[in-house]
Amino acid sequence: MSLAKAYAAASATSPLAPFQIERRAVGPHDVQIEIAYCGICHSDLHQVRNEWGNSMYPMVPGHEIVGHVTAVGAHVKGFKPGDLAGVGCMVDSCRTCPSCQRQLEQFCEKGCAWSYNSTEMDRKTPTFGGYSSSVVVDEAFTLKVSPKLDLAAAAPLLCAGITTYSPLRQWKTKKGDKVGVVGLGGLGHMAVKLAAAMGAEVTMLSTSKSKEADARKLGAHHFALTSDDATFKQLAGHFDLIIDTISAPHDYNKYLGLLRVEGAMVLLGVPPEPTPVAAIALIGGRKILTGSLIGGIQETQEMLDFCAEHGIVSDIELIPVQQVNEAYGRMLKNDVRYRFVLDMKTL
């Protein structure tokens, strides 16, 4: 067992503050990582503030973790001290259920062990996330990060990267496909980069006119303002695939009108309240409304390798951990350009 410095929320209404946690002793299959950087995902904010109604306190958020390996257990084969390593949203699963056998650990039938606001598979030991100085994780849930990538900017790949890569792959995005990305934040900007790298013709659908130039720099071929009703007339029936990353309640029906016949809209954002969907929005054109949750461990490694090959990382604002509460405030004002990353040496 070792002690680690951390930042934690004591309740849904308290700001994040310094805290100390215990990390388990390095077991035979474990990798111990000194955390260098941790991204701030909007899911951290939803959970810190108990917006999904399932929060456990004290909570140490953070599931976009990168750092250096400091120790490994006797049976670890893929990592040695000094290696770069990453940890995403999951730290364990049952490994035997049909979902786990299909490399879809995020849908483990026993419920996977999330990196924080969760328990280990013993269902007793709380898990604490990456806003901390170190972590101990089973090798099977530890990712390899290429030294070719800027380490701080690679951190958000562990959630924002895989969450957008997975549906693009599931819907077989290829050259020339018309992909709409809704919401230009952490997830949205990764969706633009990844879809463009797969050869898609990408349109950014945003409420923020001020982000147009950035959207084009990120790789979007077109930009459309969703606060303008004309957008929904001009682009009606246009898209093969829409990736919706909006974190707040909004009208899905309007966006379904932008899909071609049999086109698909994938919900990634998790607004706290449900939104009604009219049957007619799906029936006319046999449209598909679906969702996606991060990606399995094997696919996360595939995404990291894809990003290393294409030189893709996140556009980040690196901040000291003491500014985390301010960063949450800015995230709520859609003022993220385009992912905050905590520099853990400031802890």
Is residue 85 a contact point for ligand NAP (CB under 6 A)? no
Residues in the chain: 347
Q: Which is nearer to ligand NAP, 67 or 185 (CB)?
A: 185
Q: Report the C-alpha gap between 106 and 278 in whole angstroms.
A: 29
Q: How many angstroms separate the CA atoms of 58 and 217, rounded? A: 40
Within 8 A by CB and 6+ apart from 14, the residues are none
Q: Which of 41, 84, 135, 235 binds ligand NAP (CB under 6 A)?
A: 41
Span from 108-116, 146-154, 251-259, 262-270 in contact with Zn ion (CB under 5 A) = 108-116
108 binds, among ligand NAP, Zn ion, none (CB under 5 to 8 A by kind): Zn ion
Please choose which of ligand NAP, Zn ion, none residue 245 contacts, taking the beta carbon within 5 to 8 angstroms, the exact cut-off set by kind. ligand NAP
In this structure, are residues 297 and 141 in contact, taking their beta carbons and an 8 Å threshold?
yes
Indicate the burial class of 285 (C-beta count within 10 angstroms; 0-12, 13-18, 19 or more): middle
Q: Does 268 bind ligand NAP (CB under 6 A)?
A: yes
Query: Can you name the residues that pair with 265 across neighbouring β-strands?
Result: 242, 289
* Residue 269 touching ligand NAP (CB under 6 A): yes
Residue 41, interface with Zn ion (CB under 5 A)? yes
**Rule CB under 6 A: is residue 191 a binding residue for ligand NAP?**
no
Q: Which span (8-16, 75-83, 289-297, 316-324) binds ligand NAP, by CB under 6 A?
A: 289-297
Residue 109 and residue 102: Cα distance in Å, rounded?
A: 12
**Closest C-alpha among 53, 143, 132, 146 to residue 89:** 143
- Structure tokens given for 219: 């790789």
| By CB under 5 A, residue 93 contacts Zn ion | yes
Nearer to Zn ion, 164 or 203 (CB): 164
* Largest CA-CA distance found in the chain, in angstroms, rounded: 62
**Partner whose binding site includes residue 42, from Zn ion, ligand NAP, none (CB under 5 to 8 Å by kind):** ligand NAP
Q: Minimum distance between the CB of residue 188 and ligand NAP, rounded to whole angstroms?
A: 6
Give least dist CB 272 to ligand NAP, A: 9
DSSP 304: H
CB of 118 to Zn ion, least distance (A): 13
Q: How far is CA 221 from CA 186, 226, 254, 255, 313, in A?
A: 19, 16, 22, 19, 19
In the complex, the residues that contact Zn ion under the rule CB under 5 A are 41, 43, 93-94, 97, 100, 108, 159
Q: Under the rule (CB under 6 A), what is the footprint of ligand NAP?
A: 41-43, 46, 159, 163, 183-188, 206-208, 211, 245-248, 250, 268-270, 292-294, 331, 334, 336
